[in-house]
Structure 1
Amino acid sequence: MTEKTQSPSVFRNVPFVRLWTGTTASGLAMWALPFVLGLAVLERSITAVELGVVLATRTAGFLAAVPVAGVLADRYPRRRVVFWSCVTAAVATPVIAVGMGKSLLLMAVAATVVGAGQGACRPAFQALVAEVVPESQRQQANAATTLAIRVTTLVGPSLTALAAVLVDARALLAVTAVVWLCAALVPPAGTGRPQTGSTRAGFVADFVDGIKEARRHPWFLAGLAALSVVIATGYSASAVLLPVVSRDRYHTEAVLAAATTAHTLGALAGAVLIARWRPGAAGWAALAGLGCYALIPLSLLLPVHLVVLIAAYAVAGIGIELFNVPWFTATQREVEPGKLARVSSLDFLLSYGLAPVGLAVVAPAVEEFGLSVVLGGCALICLAAPAAAALVPSSRGFRART
């Protein structure tokens, strides 16, 4: 049984509008860096090898900063953590431009700092939602945020390509730094209440305390395991093998672009749907949505018409947002407020952290076992992991009480 909420629009909440604007700006800046650096390769300002090094060091900085930021955002006002994280990324981004064509080391160090700023703001942004938005509106708020990020993903490449006609990659990096400053300055202060969940006995002890809080919620551990596995297999298989299938089966790169666009459009539709829809068994519905990602490796495995492949990507896009929005909402509701940033940092650390592992393993696995075995295995895992998570009793509603 499902129902629709009749709560007022979350956009009447001015602090949330400020938070939404800042979160959207940070998402735009995070997305912009790899695309702008790709344009720099086309301009021959940097090489493809240098691009790979810079993006790898950015990811390393992101993963290193996330657990530390979770502790900081539970110790200090989350608004302050957001500010300094985004300012750090804003200052370091132009340094990458300075290093172009001169010093790969300088570019790599700057990218590491940018990645650290990106990673440090994520848990604080998540925790701020719980401070400025009433519980009855949080699902709508999380859907609005993911909707904005998906729109940015959809229209951003075209806007950046148009801007590249007028200015070079160095100037675009400067614009990205300005976007980071917007993300730093616009968000609200939150409730201002001191956080009580941090012992201040040390970063490691505080982070372990966050892990203990996560363990109090079996639905969270099960859902996080399923999400991490799906990203490491389904997402990685798509990123590495979709270009190959597009070229070898359909003999056109247009399928690559169409499938990627369909996934984003599906995610937009999913965000719009879940902003109002309240499934009776929210956790099971979310995990079913996550399981839809199995359609991607299946469509890459089977000799389906290109329309079927594109439709599979659209359905997977819908499904991932049917998972993401209730997942974030449940975490903000169920986790102790003083430990929310640390639990969120654990979420980002594992789900983002395993993605590079999957990307690195897919191509060698195809060489060793063959394309069919790898895609079949990824599809099976994408189905089995959410199904296994659904067996945990508290997963039915993503609640401690079933």
Structure 2
Amino acid sequence: MTTPADSRRIRRPAWAGRNYTLLTSAAVVTNLGAGGALIAAAFAVLESGGDAGDVGLVAAARTLPLVLFLLVGGALADRLPRHRVMVAANTLNCLSQAAFAVLVLAGDPQLWQMMLLTALCGTGQAFFSPASEGMLLSTVSGEQAGRAFALYRMAMQGAGIGGVAIGGALIAAVGPGWVLAVDAAAFAVAGSLRAFLDVDHIPAREPGGGMISDLREGWQEFSSRPWLWSVVIQFAVVNAVVGAAEAVYGPLVAQDSLGGPGPWGLALAAFGAGTVGGALVMMRWKPRRLLFAGSLCVFPLALPSAALALPTSATVLMVIMFLTGISIEVFGVSWMTALHQEIPEEKFSRVSAYDWLGSIAMLPLATALAGPAANAFGRTAALWGCSGLIALLTAAVLCVPDVRNLERRTPDPAPEKASADVEGAVGRLG
């Protein structure tokens, strides 16, 4: 006789097992906290008497450890149980954000103190990100991997949007210190959830030759795949110019032509909503040529910079940002599916670390040079340059045969061990 509980268990898809639910739930919690914390950190600096330059220094203090420690974090996550690395990183983030909150609530935090605590938070992120992506890639399996990644990303993006909205309201109501305290609590909750991850399905690691050897193996895996390093190089520049446009040029154009920060905030929110819509699309669509379809969807990323260069009306900009969010999420899910399909499980985190490093390495330089570039060539020309670089690099990547021809493989119909382990554990939504 089948009980209602048995029926619910049978209906649960393999990719939504215990680990998947824990990982996604923890990601939602941390993104809710982080969305408000980024705004709170900036307002904490300003309320302590700092200026825009000080805000930039605190932001840079978070980015620098990411660049320095990502590769080490990736090697460590492929050597140790990934969930332990994630929990340790969440603990560091919780303690650093809690200390930041106490400083702000006590009054008169010093710039060096805020930079130090933000740097500790960035260090935690450097170790967490490769471990988290490696854990997610090793958790899902089979034909529905793309759908699982789409749902995971949709949950993260939605939580990020909600976190920004709630965080902004809380800063206005109770001040940035309490929002930082909420972020610390979110890390504590998320770390607790991740402590319950089951890693029995992950094969035991063979003894390695040390950290340098692990990094060398990761580099060989990364550099031997033209589709992988070409897209990472593309996004090293694309992320840099998009970051410069959003962080520097967008607010200036909004102030001069769109009516101030309100319309610019709505445009950014429209982009976030678009990413949720793109994840919904990828819940159903499975393009056969993964990276060809995904790379075509990078072209629209050139449109927001062009819209700011004209400039368009705020309404048109919001529509463009929404459509751009949809298209870039199609790329994001396709990219994760390609990594899951092509990269050996024991090297997931190291390859992810090279991917993350490429994605952020040029961002601080681009934001630092955005102002001088606008002074030298004019803001409009700089924005057209951003748009042109995105289109040019995307066209160049499509010239790589492996990007055009990499196809989604149909998995073996026989049940895979990872799926069986996940289903057996059910008896899952840093």
TM-score if structure 1 supplies the norm length? Answer: 0.90
88, 97, 112: which is aligned to 2:101? 97
Q: Is the 8 A contact 1:30 1:118 kept in 2?
A: no
Instruction: Name the CA distance, whole Å, in 2 between partners of 1:132 and 1:26.
Output: 19
Inter-CA distance 330–191: structure 2 relative to 1 (3 Å threshold): farther
Q: Which residue of 2 aligns with 1:83?
A: 87
Q: Which residue of 2 aligns with 1:129?
A: 136
Instruction: Name the CA distance, whole Å, in 1 between partners of 2:343 and 2:43.
Output: 42
Alignment of 1:3-402 (within 5 A): 9=13, 12-41=16-45, 44-45=47-48, 47-48=50-51, 49-100=53-104, 101-164=108-171, 167-187=174-194, 188-191=197-200, 193-194=202-203, 196=205, 199-201=208-210, 203-398=211-406
Deviation string 1:164-203 (CA, Å, 9 cap, x unpaired) is 46544323222211111122121213335355477332x2
Inter-CA distance 225–260: structure 2 relative to 1 (3 Å threshold): same
Instruction: Name the CA distance, whole Å, in 2 between partners of 1:183 and 1:251.
Output: 39
Inter-CA distance 45–328: structure 2 relative to 1 (3 Å threshold): same
Gaps of 5+ in 2: 1-10, 410-430
Inter-CA distance 23–10: structure 2 relative to 1 (3 Å threshold): farther
SS of the residue corresponding to residue 258 of structure 2 reads coil
Q: Which residue of 1 aligns with 2:6?
A: none
Q: Is the 8 A contact 1:219 1:399 kept in 2?
A: no
Gaps of 5+ in 1: 1-6
Q: Is the 8 A contact 2:94 2:185 kept in 1?
A: yes
Q: Is the 8 A contact 1:58 1:113 kept in 2?
A: yes
- Give the Å deviation of 1:54: 2.4
Inter-CA distance 355–198: structure 2 relative to 1 (3 Å threshold): farther
CA RMSD, 1 decimal: 2.3
Instruction: Name the CA distance, whole Å, in 2 between partners of 1:361 and 1:315.
Output: 28
Instruction: Name the CA distance, whole Å, in 2 between partners of 1:195 and 1:340.
Output: 14
- Give the Å deviation of 1:81: 0.8
TM-score if structure 2 supplies the norm length? Answer: 0.85
The one-letter code of the counterpart of 2:89 is: S
Inter-CA distance 29–349: structure 2 relative to 1 (3 Å threshold): farther
Inter-CA distance 209–168: structure 2 relative to 1 (3 Å threshold): same
SS of the residue corresponding to residue 286 of structure 2 reads strand
Deviation string 1:69-119 (CA, Å, 9 cap, x unpaired) is 100011011111111111111111122234442433332222211111112
Inter-CA distance 222–399: structure 2 relative to 1 (3 Å threshold): farther
Instruction: Name the CA distance, whole Å, in 1 between partners of 2:80 and 2:401.
Output: 35
Q: Is the 8 A contact 1:95 1:106 kept in 2?
A: no
Q: With CA pairs under 8 Å and 6+ residues apart, which has the higher RCO, 1 or 2?
A: 2
Instruction: Name the CA distance, whole Å, in 2 between partners of 1:93 and 1:189.
Output: 28
SS of the residue corresponding to residue 186 of structure 1 reads helix
Instruction: Name the CA distance, whole Å, in 2 between partners of 1:310 and 1:393.
Output: 35
Q: Is the 8 A contact 1:67 1:207 kept in 2?
A: yes
Deviation string 1:355-386 (CA, Å, 9 cap, x unpaired) is 22211111111111122321222111111112
- Give the Å deviation of 1:239: 2.5
Q: Is the 8 A contact 1:143 1:272 kept in 2?
A: yes
Instruction: Name the CA distance, whole Å, in 1 between partners of 2:67 and 2:35.
Output: 16
Inter-CA distance 394–240: structure 2 relative to 1 (3 Å threshold): same
Inter-CA distance 343–123: structure 2 relative to 1 (3 Å threshold): same
Q: Is the 8 A contact 1:226 1:389 kept in 2?
A: yes
Q: Which residue of 1 aligns with 2:3?
A: none
Instruction: Name the CA distance, whole Å, in 1 between partners of 2:190 and 2:33.
Output: 9
Q: Is the 8 A contact 2:251 2:261 kept in 1?
A: yes
Instruction: Name the CA distance, whole Å, in 2 between partners of 1:135 and 1:197.
Output: 25
Instruction: Name the CA distance, whole Å, in 2 between partners of 1:167 and 1:157.
Output: 15
- Give the structure with higher Rg (CA): 2
Q: Is the 8 A contact 1:197 1:337 kept in 2?
A: no
SS of the residue corresponding to residue 278 of structure 1 reads coil
SS of the residue corresponding to residue 152 of structure 2 reads helix
The one-letter code of the counterpart of 1:91 is: L
Q: Is the 8 A contact 2:101 2:177 kept in 1?
A: yes
Number of aligned residue pairs: 393
Instruction: Name the CA distance, whole Å, in 2 between partners of 1:98 and 1:47.
Output: 18
SS of the residue corresponding to residue 143 of structure 2 reads helix
- Give the Å deviation of 1:159: 1.6
- Work out the percentage of aligned pairs sharing the same amino acid: 27
The one-letter code of the counterpart of 1:370 is: G
